Structure 1
Amino acid sequence: METIHYKQNISAQYCFSGNNASCKKEVQGGPGYIFLFIILSCISVCTVFLNLLVIISISHFKQLHTPTNLLILSLAVADFLVGLFVMPMKIMQLIDSCWYLGKLACSFTEIIIGILVLTSLCNMVFIAVDRCIAISVPMLYPSIVTPFKMSVSIILGWSFCVLYVLIFMYFNDHLMPAQMYTTCYGECVVFVKYPWVIANMVFFFLTPCAGILFLYSVIFIVARRQAKSIRAAAHQASQKVSNSSEAKAAKTLGIVIFFFLAFWIPFYISSLTVTNLTTLSIVWTVFTWLMFINSFVNPMIYAIFYPWFRASAKFILTCRILESSSSVVNLYREHS
């Protein structure tokens, strides 16, 4: 037994061999982890690629410069950064437990993750408000919701999320590298105090979700009432097309929000079962990845339900976007 124990000590690896306070290195190299690495890497690449298509489409084609599409653009930017920055970092942490970039990069990484996750939720709230206005008062919508007002709202939303995450990290002692507590050198762990778990649950899950569900209930009721009125009045046939389009957009974005909540609910429910959460826990890892995968699902929903996205993606992938007049092309006509 003594000989076996001695061999185990010899074979032990550490993150930094020249540092006595270094963490023990745990490299996951079994077949299961290799398969997981391949799957998650594919998800990361697809997340970047699909959201980049959304970003280029809405930015390039003038026909898509609408307030609703600006929200989709903002959501795609957050999802794109999740796939480009967050997913690769988390994949490497799954395969190799060591953190080689230092405390400053650790703190910065967790701040970026928090900002991107919260901006996704903020965009979902804005989307629900936008659709509610479009369905409730379609004639006044162009004057109430303009591209400029929507741009300002998006900027304010991102700014609020940045401010909240900085406050959150400060009060959890993770804003400054010197404040961060680690058990060994080569560790990047964020401990979340239970009061902040409750605060996040109330202010960044229950309240926004209740608002979103209420707004979509209003949308559903108004859409049904308008449909009945349209069927009853033949002279409103032209309005039927407009309302039908708005209802379809509301339905599509409602599906986006449904998947968003489905991926978020497990994380917040599980967070109430423990008094101290850490980013190294299995529960945190699994349900955090569910939230990340939501960034991969969103552009797939656009591809299925939005004709303009399929048409614009075809333009981009066939390099027709390089033509001088491509920005003013009618995507809906191209699709039909």
Structure 2
Amino acid sequence: MDDKDYRQNITIQYCFPDNNASCRKEVRSGPGYFLLYFILSCISVCTVFLNLLVIISISHFKQLHTPTNLLILSLAVADFLVGLFVMPVNTMQLMDSCWYLGTVACYISPIISLVSMLGSLWSLILIAVDRYIAIADPLLYSTRITVRKTVLSIIFGWSLYLCYVIMYLYFDDYFFQFHMSTHCYGECVLVVKYSWAIIDLVVSFLVPCCVILVLYSIIFKVARRQAKAIRTANTVATNKHGAKMLKASEIKAAKKLGTVIFVYLACWIPFYLSSVSVDNLTSSSMVWTVFCWLIYINSSVNPLIYAIFYSWFRASAKYIVTCKIFESSSSSFNLFPEHF
């Protein structure tokens, strides 16, 4: 045996050295990987922290118990799960190629991952519907959108996506969609077959994307039409300042809607383009890893778009960070002082 062969042999590592069926370990180390792990860990922590602030805010303060905020709460819960479970597990698998959490966790992990991401997507759809009704039919909004109806729609969507994920993950013999690769002990690889990729492209991307885009385009047109009508009615010289303020408000709303659509498309399109470009896409491939992390990062950006831009979030976050929510009457704190 020459020196080259000897060096190759001594560098071979196994996930579980005491198990003869153990997979070989592929350790990824070095300054570049260390920096990558640090960045991904920071993203995970920030995702958990920001979404936890949203969850505590809406759950604790009575003033925030509205249908719209319940939808933001649903979005925050989904994104919180992504940051708490999905991101750490994927970071762990980036460090080396082994799966240390056991067979049961191997089958449960994709359920949590997919349901969390689809729950986030369902919440985005409901937020678009809620904003559409609020803009298109504001006089009947309070009667058409109630807390009870909102809670039922959230439960319905999450349940529907849970059934969808379980059906296509674990009814392989009937639908031939997913396959969990566990050829050796310490392996947990999800193989996405082309037939499932097409179905999932329609169910999880094209249909939701079309709904969101159509609704937001209608919202933008209605908002512009209403703003134009108000500006026309306020053509008197004394109301010029109000018209200018309305124009600024219209531009701000348009930018916010544009940000929502752009971030959503930028995070989801690359993954689905890659999923239909190959016959079988595996969770161990670098393409899968990079594009999935784009979707995960969407969970970090969502609280910034839907919550941090609002004054109530900044006020509630201040109360939470300073521990004032532990006061007996904190749930009744006024988060909208400018309204009084």
Instruction: Give TM-score scaled by structure 2 length.
Output: 0.89
| CA distance, structure 1, for counterparts of residue 258 and residue 298 of structure 2 | 14
Query: For residues 252 and 151 of structure 1, do their structure 2 counterparts lie closer, same or farther at Cα, with a shift above 3 Å needed?
Result: farther
RMSD: 2.7
Q: Which residue of 2 aligns with 1:331?
A: 335
Contact 2:59 2:65 in 1 (8 A): yes
Secondary structure of the residue aligned to 2:14 is: coil
| CA distance, structure 2, for counterparts of residue 158 and residue 334 of structure 1 | 36
Contact 1:58 1:69 in 2 (8 A): yes
Q: Which residue of 1 aligns with 2:276?
A: 272
Query: For residues 132 and 32 of structure 1, do their structure 2 counterparts lie closer, same or farther at Cα, with a shift above 3 Å needed?
Result: same
| CA distance, structure 1, for counterparts of residue 339 and residue 14 of structure 2 | 57
Q: Does 1:293 align with 2:297?
A: yes
Q: Calculate percent identity across the aligned residue pairs.
A: 65
Secondary structure of the residue aligned to 2:263 is: helix
Secondary structure of the residue aligned to 1:139 is: helix
Letter paired with 2:35 = F
Letter paired with 1:188 = C
Letter paired with 2:76 = A
| CA distance, structure 2, for counterparts of residue 297 and residue 123 of structure 1 | 14
Contact 1:307 1:335 in 2 (8 A): no
| CA distance, structure 2, for counterparts of residue 52 and residue 312 of structure 1 | 12
Q: Which moved more, 1:252-261 or 1:81-90?
A: 252-261
Q: Deviations over 1:267-322 (max 9, x none)?
A: 11111110001000110000001111111111223454211111111111111212
Q: Compute the displacement of 1:98 (Å).
A: 0.6
Query: For residues 323 and 257 of structure 1, do their structure 2 counterparts lie closer, same or farther at Cα, with a shift above 3 Å needed?
Result: farther
Letter paired with 1:101 = L
Letter paired with 2:134 = A
Q: Does 1:311 align with 2:284?
A: no
Q: Which residue of 2 aligns with 1:258?
A: 262
Query: For residues 90 and 22 of structure 1, do their structure 2 counterparts lie closer, same or farther at Cα, with a shift above 3 Å needed?
Result: same
| CA distance, structure 2, for counterparts of residue 35 and residue 17 of structure 1 | 28
Q: Which residue of 1 aligns with 2:190?
A: 190
Q: Which runs of 5+ in 1 are unaligned?
A: none
Letter paired with 2:71 = L
Contact 1:103 1:180 in 2 (8 A): no
Q: Does 1:130 align with 2:168?
A: no
Secondary structure of the residue aligned to 1:191 is: strand
Q: Compute the displacement of 1:134 (Å).
A: 0.4
| CA distance, structure 2, for counterparts of residue 247 and residue 120 of structure 1 | 27
Letter paired with 2:332 = V
Secondary structure of the residue aligned to 2:24 is: coil
Q: Which runs of 5+ in 2 are unaligned?
A: none
Secondary structure of the residue aligned to 2:336 is: helix
Q: Which residue of 1 aligns with 2:140?
A: 140
Q: Which residue of 1 aligns with 2:155?
A: 155
Q: Which residue of 2 aligns with 1:283?
A: 287
| CA distance, structure 1, for counterparts of residue 194 and residue 330 of structure 2 | 53
| CA distance, structure 2, for counterparts of residue 158 and residue 186 of structure 1 | 31
Number of equivalences: 329
| CA distance, structure 2, for counterparts of residue 133 and residue 335 of structure 1 | 23
Letter paired with 2:126 = F
Query: For residues 308 and 185 of structure 1, do their structure 2 counterparts lie closer, same or farther at Cα, with a shift above 3 Å needed?
Result: same
Instruction: Give TM-score scaled by structure 1 length.
Output: 0.90
